[in-house]
Structure 1
């Protein structure tokens, strides 16, 4: 499908479809391609909105989860959104959880996949090696069960990001912020229906993390996808979308 990047004030975002609103939040190395299959399927019966979070562009002294939550707050206000469903992958899931804790009246349901917030083992925890394409390629492939899922275009995109010193510094700062913001004590306060879709072979947020989310969230449903790592919507899009479709149909 042909996708148009829109602007509203200082915000860039994708918006396709009509109906109940789904807001999708990408991860630390997120790109539009991460959500392409979700956008294509669900924009036929929902309004799908994907804001481009300012992970690499925010001032380094502000680089952290609280600033990203503030970004989502301001974006929601700019767009005049009422209630909506939040869907987040990896760091995007962490931001979704923190936003929901602050604004339980705005979020009617949530879906998380490979979310941070309890534990994660990621490249961002240490300074990414600049200038080493093979290192970046290996780390990107590590996030997928089948390394071939990491296309050259996606590896090139991540490599381009890591060539920038300021962007690398933001990545490290945000990753450390994620590690500091452990939500174990807060998750029982999230009462809305929450779908957890997890790769059974996730090396970044292993299945034990999914079980812990499921234990701590009062109204959660956990679904695993085999032969799948940290980004199920990219690696096993059909299974991911089927689980999400069933959840949305029965929930919102």
Structure 2
């Protein structure tokens, strides 16, 4: 992948008995993207929902603000942050505090930096963790959150390869046994216009859908130049979108949204790719 990548095209063949979930969600059977995690955590007996954010980039910052501003309850507080690097963590903290000043309580001792920082945030006194770091790290972080008995919102994709998906599946079985709420960031499933259009398609307004072709057009993403003294690992994690072991490449990381919509329309999932 390079910075000027413009998108991809995928053909989907319908499997008559297939799942209605998207590519990442279809593999992670039982992960319910439509679940309102805040309410589930509240129903578990906590008066206040305490949140840890893991991965403090733009998406993580936005997810934290979304959680704090949810319509179900305002008794929600961000209490821990974790990121591989200190600078995005501090930037995220400032941005979230500016938007939700009364719902942020993250003193220095609950700001964790490094590749293992997620463990420290998860094991703070929290109810819900937001997993928004590069998806190559998602399986290990999800496993840790489930072991700790935390409710989870995790961004898509849930993994970047088949071994990672199998780890997600196994951890999700444990999450179900523990009655933990788990949601995935396939936001189009919750968008009113998408839901209405696809409801009508399923009612047969345009007839029987036999074939779907999907596209993802994009103007490219950020790139962070190498800093003096930066290790190769630090450089790759900082520019995770360009490294398949961290992002899964464009189709897995971004085009999964459109693949999910195709699966939703067809109420099936791909059985072959060519």
TM range (shorter): 0.3 to 0.5
**Normalised TM-score (structure 1):** 0.35
Task: Report which of the two structures shows the higher radius of gyration computed on alpha carbons.
Answer: 2
> TM-score by structure 2 length?
0.33
Greater RCO (Cα-Cα under 8 Å, separation 6 or more): 2
